[in-house]
């Protein structure tokens, strides 16, 4: 039993005896007050009940003059009053403690500096933010003392004592102003200060509360928010341009497929005619321009795709040389680019990643030379050489631009860090660092003085060069298809672009297949059913101008013709296709624009696979 209960034992037994014989509300009041006192002394309910039972046993054994029923009835009433009062006060105390803890936690979590004082100007409490400005660790140092207290002379407290006195005297309702707060010595910080009176439920003034915020920190956060907002806006613009580039590349690929396809058909016809050779030369110029345009759309798709990696073995020097020809629009005419790649270095990487690395570093070099002396030749030197590390190739990209400081150098690969205020996203070099690290390489910057920067990339070498694939003409491809009679194979072409559809039909018909072209899936299924066509292969665009995509349509056709094979055609990048739930891994597909030979080869290979 709780030791605090023993002190009330004799008094409590005496009051019970009096209540049984004489009654009286003062006895009930005593029990109520006793219940409060036991709650204050943190006695448990179990201890209170045990205390009552012990007193009852003592009273029963000590006297035979009380009626047993009257004794138990009176005792139960007094016990209930005591216990209920104890429970009520415990709940009230618990709720008050919870409310106080919540208020303390809220005040502590606030970034504002907060302190509060009583009616005499003595500290009642404060939060940690205020303690940090005072340079002390605990509120115990100031609680119970005023700003003028001798114990606080070693602590510099720049409180507005005059205004606080006006608040505590009731002459001022509230006070809000901006001022410089002196914290230590001559150091000060700009603050916005609010002082208000504390009023209790009886509308009596019992103290004040002061809250102030650091305007320097607030301004710094506002600047950070502006930078983050600008970076987000830049990223969104880049993403929007990427989506636009993907859409343009898709439409352009359709046109290129038509140009290349019909030009190759025309080339085939000219070779067998007696026209002057110069006409064939003209056509070859058209095909050459189309091939260069094909590279351009590949760069647009590279810019628009979302990191779907397709690594392959690439000869780094040749790839860089070819890529630079497509970036002529971003390289100013007064900038000279030299490439030193005497040896061949093979790497295993996604070619679009190589392009992103090269593009970001060239743009960075170009921007570094914008404000250089006009009399100085602007130069970007790209050098491929053996690395000092085994199994690596060293790629160096050097410019003679404005250079950078050591401090800037230490931050250049951080996301959103940029020295191009208002025009840079801070993502270019961060992207370079991420891509190179992804392949197990390293990238570093070398600076000498205030002019010029050299970026050095160590890229892992691949053990063997890629297999050589010779370009095969349509005639040669057709000659190789002697495994079966093409005319016995029915090919259904589903393409909503008429020019592309007519080209596909023409090329496959020329190759000897029996071809049926359709604009929509509804018309295709209707004609197949009416004419009883047995479909050997479906050649379909993946993204069509109808509710279903090519994969969904192919699944419906396969249910009717289980032996049918499928080849997909698309001019979109893989990430746009994947967003529609279509993954191209291990699926026969051909990317626009393509050569006629490539088309016939993939169709024939797919049909051969089914035999």
Q: Tokens 């993939």 correspond to what residue?
A: 602
Distance CA(176)–CA(403), nearest Å, equals 49
Two domains, one topology: 113-218 and 310-468: no
CATH architecture of 113-218: 2-Layer Sandwich (3.30)
Contact 578, 308 (CB under 8 A): yes
Reported as a single tens digit per residue, the pLDDT across 324-351 is 876 666 676 678 888 888 788 999 888 8
Fold designation for 310-468: Heat Shock Protein 90 (3.30.565)
d(Cα 416, Cα 413) in Å, to the nearest integer?
9
Span 36-83, pLDDT tens digits: 676 667 777 777 777 777 777 777 776 555 565 665 666 666 666 666
What are the φ/ψ torsions at residue 338 (nearest 5 degrees)?
Answer: -115, 140
**CATH number corresponding to 474-610:** 3.40.50.2300
How far is 436 from 455, CA to CA, in rounded Å?
Answer: 12
The pLDDT, as a whole number, for residue 275 is: 62
DSSP per-residue letters across 426-452: S-HHHHHHHHHHHTT-EEEEEE-TTS-
Spatial distance between the Cα atoms of 228 and 572, rounded to a whole number of angstroms: 32
H helices present in 307-443, as ranges: 316-326, 351-368, 406-409, 428-438
| Cα(339)–Cα(337) distance, integer angstroms | 7
* Residue 211: partners with Cβ closer than 8 Å, 6 or more residues away: 112, 113, 114, 193, 194, 195
Rg from Cα positions in the chain: 43
- With CA atoms as reference, report the closest residue to 114 among 215, 212, 216: 212
Residues 24-54 as b/e (b if ≥16 CB within 10 A, e otherwise) read: eeebbebbbebbbbbbeeebeeebbeebbeb
**d(C-alpha 58, C-alpha 51), whole Å:** 11
Nearest to 540 by CA among 499, 496, 600: 496
Does an H or E element contain 195, and which?
Answer: strand 187-199
Mean pLDDT by 10 residues, the chain (611 residues): 67 72 68 68 73 73 61 61 66 75 82 88 88 84 78 71 86 85 74 90 89 86 78 63 62 72 72 65 69 61 54 87 72 80 86 85 83 75 90 91 80 73 65 84 83 89 62 50 62 88 87 91 92 92 83 90 88 57 62 81 80 41
* Cis amide bond preceding 593, omega within 30: yes
Domain ranges across the chain: 3-106, 113-218, 310-468, 474-610
Q: At a CB cut-off of 8 Å and minimum separation 6, what does 182 contact?
A: 156, 158, 188
In the sheet that holds 490-494, the strands lie side by side as 514-518, 490-494, 537-541, 565-570, 589-591
Give the distance, in angstroms, between the CA of residue 108 and the centroid of all CA atoms in the same chain.
30
Structure-token pair, residue 573: 């990048």
- Residue 611 confidence (pLDDT): 41
Whole-number pLDDT of residue 384? 92
CA geometry: angle at 384 spanning 380 and 387, to 5°? 130
Burial environment of residue 262 by CB neighbours within 10 A (0 to 12, 13 to 18, 19 or more): middle
């Amino acid at each position: 039993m709780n030791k605090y209960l023993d002190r009330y034992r004799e008094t409590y037994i005496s009051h019970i005896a009096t209540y049984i014989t004489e009654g009286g509300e003062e006895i009930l009041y005593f029990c109520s007050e006793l219940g409060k006192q036991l709650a204050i002394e943190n006695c448990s309910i179990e201890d209170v009940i045990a205390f009552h039972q012990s007193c009852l046993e003592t009273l029963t054994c000590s006297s035979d003059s009380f009626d047993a029923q009257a004794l138990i009835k009176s005792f139960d009433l007094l016990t209930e009053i005591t216990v209920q009062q104890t429970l009520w006060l415990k709940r009230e105390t618990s709720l008050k403690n919870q409310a106080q803890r919540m208020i303390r936690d809220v005040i502590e979590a606030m970034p504002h500096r907060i302190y509060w004082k009583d009616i005499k100007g003595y500290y009642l409490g404060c939060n940690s933010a205020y303690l940090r400005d005072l340079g002390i660790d605990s509120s115990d140092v100031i609680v119970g003392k005023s700003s003028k207290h001798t114990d606080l002379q070693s602590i510099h407290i720049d409180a507005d004592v005059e205004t606080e006195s006006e608040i505590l005297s009731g002459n001022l309702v509230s006070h809000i102003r901006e001022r410089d707060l002196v914290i230590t010595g001559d150091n000060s910080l700009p603050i916005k200060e609010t002082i208000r009176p504390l009023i209790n439920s009886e509308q009596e003034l019992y103290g004040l509360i002061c809250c102030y915020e650091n305007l320097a920190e607030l301004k710094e956060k506002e600047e950070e928010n502006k930078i983050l907002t600008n970076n987000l806006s830049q990223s969104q613009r880049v993403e929007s341009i990427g989506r636009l580039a993907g859409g343009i590349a898709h439409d352009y690929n359709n046109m290129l497929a038509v140009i290349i396809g019909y030009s190759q058909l025309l080339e085939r016809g000219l070779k067998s005619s007696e026209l002057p050779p110069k006409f064939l030369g003209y056509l070859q110029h058209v095909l050459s321009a189309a091939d260069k345009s094909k590279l351009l759309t590949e760069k647009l798709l590279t810019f628009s795709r979302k990191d779907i990696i397709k690594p392959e073995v690439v000869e780094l020097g040749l790839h860089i040389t070819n890529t630079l020809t497509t970036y002529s629009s971003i390289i100013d005419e007064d900038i000279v680019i030299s490439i030193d790649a005497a040896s061949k270095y093979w790497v295993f990487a996604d070619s679009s990643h190589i392009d992103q690395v090269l593009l970001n570093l060239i743009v960075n070099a170009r921007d570094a030379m914008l404000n250089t002396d006009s009399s100085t030749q602007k130069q970007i030197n790209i050098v491929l050489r053996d690395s000092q590390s085994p199994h690596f190739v060293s790629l160096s990209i050097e410019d003679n631009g404005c250079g950078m400081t050591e401090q800037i150098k230490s931050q250049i690969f951080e996301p959103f860090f940029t020295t191009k205020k208002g025009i840079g996203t801070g993502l270019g070099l961060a992207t370079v660092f991420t891509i190179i690290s992804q392949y197990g390489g390293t990238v570093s910057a070398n600076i000498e003085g205030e002019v010029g920067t050299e970026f050095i990339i160590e890229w892992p070498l691949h053990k063997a060069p890629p297999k050589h694939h010779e370009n095969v003409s349509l005639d040669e491809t057709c000659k190789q298809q002697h495994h079966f009679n093409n005319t016995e194979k029915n090919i259904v072409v589903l393409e909503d672009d008429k020019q592309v559809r007519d080209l596909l039909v023409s090329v496959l018909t020329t190759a000897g297949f029996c071809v049926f072209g359709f604009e929509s899936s509804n018309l295709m299924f209707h004609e197949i059913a009416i004419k009883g066509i047995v479909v050997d292969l479906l050649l379909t665009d993946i993204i069509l101008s109808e509710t279903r995509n090519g994969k969904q349509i192919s699944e419906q056709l396969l249910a009717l013709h289980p032996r049918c094979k499928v080849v997909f055609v698309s001019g979109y990048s893989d990430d746009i296709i994947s967003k529609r739930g279509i993954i191209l891994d291990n699926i026969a597909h051909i990317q626009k624009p393509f050569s006629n030979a490539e088309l016939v080869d993939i169709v024939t290979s797919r049909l051969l696979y089914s035999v």
